[in-house]
């Protein structure tokens, strides 16, 4: 069986990459996204899908048909860097960072 990350985001992942590149957040995006590679090395598959929150995704980690983990790949920070405004993500962090970043919520 091939272990993979499947993109069902309908272009939202590409939008996030462009957003990260434009706002000098590429390292932050890939640092958090790379956490999914650990699940691949354990023989699981990762499925990414769109989320209602801005610059965020949902994910599922599956071992065959068995759900191992699911949650959100959530962006925390301004969505408009010119106005420094943020859309609501409805997500809470126990140890919030003062800089824009992505985090995995389960």
Least confident residue range of 8-17, 31-40, 66-75: 31-40
Q: Which residue is associated with the tokens 């890939």? A: 30
pLDDT tens per residue, range 22-31 = 999 999 999 9
Radius of gyration, alpha carbons of the chain: 14
Q: What is the pTM of this model?
A: 0.85
Q: Which residue is associated with the tokens 């959100």? A: 72
| Among the listed residues 92, 73, 71, 79, the one whose alpha carbon sits nearest the alpha carbon of residue 25 | 79
pLDDT tens per residue, range 39-52 = 888 889 999 999 99
- Number of neighbouring beta carbons within 10 Å of residue 13: 19
Q: How many Å apart are CA 67 and CA 47, to the nearest integer?
A: 11
């Amino acid at each position: 069986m091939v272990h993979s990350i499947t993109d069902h985001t309908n272009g939202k992942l590409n939008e996030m990459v462009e957003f990260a590149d434009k706002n000098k957040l590429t390292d932050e995006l890939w640092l958090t996204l790379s956490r999914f590679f650990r699940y691949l090395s354990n023989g699981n598959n990762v499925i990414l899908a769109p989320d209602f929150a801005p610059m965020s995704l949902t994910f599922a980690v599956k071992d065959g048909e068995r759900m191992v983990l699911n949650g959100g790949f959530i962006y925390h920070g301004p969505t408009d860097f010119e106005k420094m405004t943020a859309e609501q993500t409805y997500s809470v962090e126990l140890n919030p960072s003062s800089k824009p970043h992505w985090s995995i919520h389960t």
